[in-house]
Amino acid sequence: MPETTLLSLRPTRLIALGHYLIWIFLWIMAVVIYLNPWGFLPQVLIPVLNVRPQTFVAWLLAFAGLVELLNAEIRRRTIQYVITDNRIIRKDGIVRKRTMEIPFTQIERVELEQGLIQRLFGYGDLVLDTGEDTEVLASLRHVRLIHDEVVKHIGQMSYRPPSQRG
Residue type, 127: V
Q: Which residues have C-beta within 8 Å of that of residue 156, sequence separation ≥ 6?
A: 104
**pLDDT value, residue 61:** 94
The mean pLDDT value for 36-51 works out to 79
Rg over CA atoms, the chain? 23
The mean pLDDT value for 40-52 works out to 79
Distance CA 158, CA 161 (A): 8
The mean pLDDT value for 62-80 works out to 92
How far from 29 is each of 47, 69, 143, CA to CA, in Å?
Answer: 24, 15, 36
- Whether 162 shows a pLDDT value over 70: the answer reads no
Q: Is 0.85 surpassed by the pTM of this model?
A: no
Backbone φ and ψ for 41, nearest 5 degrees, come out as -105, 140
**pLDDT value, residue 165:** 53
With beta carbons less than 8 A apart as the criterion, state whether 126 and 136 touch.
yes
Distance CA 97, CA 120 (A): 33
Reading phi first (left if > 0) and then psi (alpha if -120 to 50, else beta), residue 127 is in: beta
Distance CA 145, CA 126 (A): 11
**17-32: pLDDT as tens digits:** 888 999 999 999 999 9
Query: For residue 152, which of 7, 10, 1 has the smallest C-alpha distance?
Result: 7
**107-118: pLDDT as tens digits:** 999 999 999 988
**pLDDT value, residue 27:** 94
